[in-house]
Structure 1
């Protein structure tokens, strides 16, 4: 099945049969991604009276209760409700079936080397995602501005992402203040990253990148634009997802909470040179 979409007066062909999964698998009984020292996500058979929710133990069905913390247990999407006093539910966000997106691949640098800065707690040796790397990747991607609504960041180098990793206490890379401002300048409404947070693991409790992205004012709350934005963290960007334009399906449970486990999927978009 092929789709054709029109953006900024140009037509693009989308191969809907070649999806690129960005979600990491969450195996409740095996290896799983973790962060912030929150321990493992767990599942157990429901039991009550004569009922046991495990066919292997004689039950008629499998029925499990799960315990997970979206922010530390795998791929998840969050909204401004993550950092605001107002409970803005993530389940009301990103309702579009497909969102124009661009994949950017960046190498981490030390904060001192990057020439950028951090508004929170930091060290010159911290590994960061900086403006110069993002700019260079966007230039290589060669996408129309319409594709910058969703920006997918894949990292490499020291402090970068690794599938099914436990990041707790590892001080993984994070976004500099200038990099975050640059993303907003591009019109980013949905930010996806393969690290556990856009902020430093220990940021002193200030979450500067989150607050800047959601445009959260301590007195008046988030901006209208900030209320509509999402951040998806702990994704896994496959090698097949080269720099360039895509359509993003961003699906997650309709939880009336600040965050939800999610399953983002990319579909490559190519300029259409023929009329279907």
Structure 2
């Protein structure tokens, strides 16, 4: 593959944690959101024979334009299973910082050419599904799980594969704050809500330590507040003595 604006021309991508892929998106039979959120197939746009492969189950691949170049099944395949395919297969055990399932939500295929950097897609600010999830959380915390249920099931039915709507519904007994935490992650991943959610739930440090190996060694209580930009402090009458920086920064 070579960089191509039709698949987003990204220099950076959101990388999901193992917790996101293996726990939050564990159900891929009934719930369509993993399939609709991540790119699973790359079509060859750089024909040729290649030997420097991340999928070492085969010595080389020879591809024509339009062939499948890379496939991400989302589950492990044995080397023998991968070797039978004429393309590279990226399985979870091969994920690393530059190889992982790509969240497609913000990729922009509408750039006029490869060198054009600004995007044209709208940024998601408010969605009906989030309104349902807020209502469900508020009612659950008010001790009304039965009243909360229709709101969360409305989101889950919409996210179901065709014919799986009933299987996606949960009961009042299954509706817990842990479930809502994961449901918001399934629905709102990449939309810049997570830090605010974890902070307001009071579980930021705990959950980052548990689920984010890249940040678990450095996350601390100070990260429940963001650093104040220095230029804002400098422009305040009295400077830092009247408008001090947040603790720890």
TM-score by structure 1 length? Answer: 0.26
Instruction: Indicate the structure with greater strand content.
Output: 1
TM-score by structure 2 length? Answer: 0.28
Whose relative contact order is higher, 1 or 2, with alpha carbons under 8 Å and at least 6 apart?
Answer: 1
Instruction: Indicate the structure with greater helix content.
Output: 2
